[in-house]
A and B are shown apart, each in its own frame.
Chain A
């Protein structure tokens, strides 16, 4: 199909004001928060499932790949196009279709911004639990594609634990409905399989989610340490005491100084590490858990444990954490963030290893991560204009991820595999594991039209990280 004929036909489906085709417009869609790839032939902004079906059918006839994209905040190259095709942006599919508070359910289109759903039910005392740091921008469709998480998923679970059903457009244009508003619909849990499949199995056009009741009481503690080791030991000790915090985040001295300069959250500039601990629930339970957590921190040599005295102070502490990437952007021309996971008891060992990697590769590495579930986010700082430095960064990142796997962990906890880590999949999975994944992909998308070049490795040998590191996003 000729390019202008394609644009005209797409316009007939979605409206001519909902198609982008000029090179300067398309350029914006070469990027996500990780890196850049190639330009699509067209970008469309459908408003309905029917329009998505039309676009998908057309692409299929034209033999063009299709990539679904929400806000483009992803960190693994999941929403960029690798070999040309059509990008379906869900930003105009942003209707909250149904809110059913008595059943604690909502039905939304995929382009609804994560925080907007929470705001829509907040006055009634409810919220949508998954809270990625990009929640002001990222979409629920994107959360579903990546099985996104955030600081508070430690206690409440990740996206998949809050999604009950999906409407999905398959690559041949067929529309299916998986799951339901109620639990345990008989048959295979296609919802659970599609959540986290990175847009490679179908295009999600409707999502049934669970809403959660806001807790009665919240306490936020900031524990300050003179040693990273003491901070990491505290993490396992808190869990061992039977305390399940709603969130348990760690920032090392380097990162928190950068954050403090940018946000003035009140983090102590001279400390080696801080833990941000949040406990939630019934007032009495929160009070006890906060006291116990504080005692554990002190027993592990925290030099100071502060409690946020009001919502304002709590928001400030969190703003520091959630804007940490932006703060790093102020002090380093480029940075590369990783997302490996380890058993939480191995944190002390792992942080020592990351320091060693920094020394070996001559890189400054900051740490700011979801300590409670062992989900690391080392921030490798460098200058992307320097090719040699860029290569060193990728090597250092691979060393860290390999170590995560060696410790019994994973190469990604919440950012997804995408383009970036697909060639590292053989670190974790055998040929047989990957062979089955490929076979299941083929059930949904036998021609490989949906988001090609993502998630599964090109070959079976363990390769390199695929990334042209340019900048960073939020986690």
Chain B
């Protein structure tokens, strides 16, 4: 512990209370980021305390990383510095909830599972399937704009956040947006925070618009032995009037993984399309009928799964990081974002490249969204070269690749975010405007923001 950190312990205790500043080994190790262990863990209970901690940290140039359950803490460059873990677990209250208005404001430390349970009592939900699933926190979901396959129908946190309060490194609490679903007053500062990975400010309250839960759900599985079939089915579904809530193409390895421990556990031999619809019985019957015809035309039988059990699999599909890590603890996870139609071509190149390096893949493709997650299951000497070839393939197809998970020592050799674009100058100035001392999650975002 540096002298500055040692001094900070008692100073921070005067802000949040002595029992909420921890310096013991195990508390600190639990929130290590890329092998870096913070000097202190602080557990603020209010927005004002967060602001106080940030002001203190800025004054003393101590680096802070906001966190909760660490479900996405591994994403990003290794921090340049890391003195204080700002754990928001004690900020888990709902401040404002109007079910009839379909709006809610809550604190960032609330777990997504608890939140869904809370609004579910009124038949409402926030239709996201973020990485980390029920354990993810609202703040983390928003700060990383984390999405899963539900994005196809419902969009991303970016589309659901209607306002927020942000603690700044100056120790102020500022507001942007509000609690109504439509609002164009002032600059939309929330957009900057969404997906900023904790580098600009700390979200201390976030307001969402909510959606009614679907009356019933229906999940269907279609084998897609060749990628050509996958492409054919994706096109037919997207061009049909059917409106799936979510649709994923899983390769055989991924499908076997997500089924594990569920009523549908099986060694899957070929890629599969999983697709879910929401609506009344009549709507689901129509979907079943047309999907069956569509499958027949493509030469693939369509199976309808029992809905409640299927949700268990969907939860695992949403938490693909967790699933892939069950296969291997040293796994590398890549996220590729592309114009959606290029998905199959990318996959076919990825499969070839991986095979030539002798590395097994698990792939999750969010159909119609253009986001592919790849788990690289074997750590061989060809891993770095493979990642860089996959990045080139993604870029050739008009997309980009991000390394979402890998062992800390690999991060020096794998460029986590890829090269920034011609808007990087503006991003750097924005970072300096929010965080002039560079104390928030320093260096973690693209280009070392």
Contact = CB atoms under 8 A, between A and B. Distances in A.
Pair from one complex = yes
Interface of A: 100, 102-105, 125, 146-147, 149, 153, 157-158, 160-161, 170, 174-178, 180-193, 195-197, 213, 215-217, 236, 239-240, 242-244, 281-285, 288, 341-345, 370, 373-375, 408-417, 421, 425, 428-430, 432-434, 436-437, 439-444, 455
B17 interface: no
B158 A189 contact: yes
Contacts, number: 248
B195 A184 contact: yes
B35 interface: no
A192 B158 contact: yes
Nearest to A404: B180
B188 interface: yes
Contact of B178 (A176, A409, A425, A442): A409
B429 interface: yes
B409 interface: no
A322 B103 CA distance: 28
B426 A185 contact: no
Interface stretch (B107-115, B168-176, B347-355): B168-176
Q: Which 5 A-B pairs have the closest CB atoms?
A: A192-B191, A216-B241, A242-B212, A186-B446, A410-B183
Interface of B: 98-103, 123, 145, 147, 151, 155-156, 158-159, 168, 172-176, 178-189, 191-192, 194-196, 200, 211-213, 215, 235, 238-239, 241-243, 279-280, 282-283, 286, 335, 337-341, 369-371, 398-400, 402, 417-418, 420-427, 429-431, 433, 445-447, 449
Given A375-B182, A416-B184, A437-B189, A177 B423 contact: yes
A242 B283 CA distance: 15
Given A147-B188, A161-B159, A282 B283 contact: yes
Given A188-B196, A345-B98, A183 B337 contact: yes
Contacts of A178: 423
A408 B99 CA distance: 15
B101 A344 contact: yes
10 contacts: A149-B182, A182-B339, A183-B370, A184-B145, A197-B187, A236-B100, A345-B98, A410-B185, A428-B186, A432-B173
Given A192-B194, A432-B173, A183 B189 contact: no
Contacts of A161: 155, 159
Contacts of B145: 184, 189
Most chain-B CB neighbours within 10 Å: which of A158, A239, A436, A455? Answer: A436
A105 B286 CA distance: 28
A181 B159 contact: no
A432 B434 CA distance: 12
A265 to B, nearest CB: 25
Given A182-B337, A215-B241, A282-B242, A433 B180 contact: no
A438 to B, nearest CB: 9
Nearest to A216: B241
Contacts of A240: 99-100
A410 B184 CA distance: 8
B182 A373 contact: yes
A270 B212 CA distance: 35
Nearest to B423: A176
Contact of A281 (B189, B243, B424): B243
Contact of B429 (A197, A416, A430, A443): A443
Contact of B339 (A103, A174, A288, A344): A103
B184 A415 contact: yes
Contact of A188 (B241, B242, B337, B427): B427
B62 to A, nearest CB: 22
B103 A343 contact: yes
Contacts of B99: 240
Given A281-B243, A343-B101, A409 B168 contact: no
Given A157-B155, A239-B102, A284 B188 contact: no
Contact of A412 (B181, B185, B402): B185
A188 B192 contact: yes
Contact of B283 (A100, A284, A428, A441): A284
B426 A341 contact: no
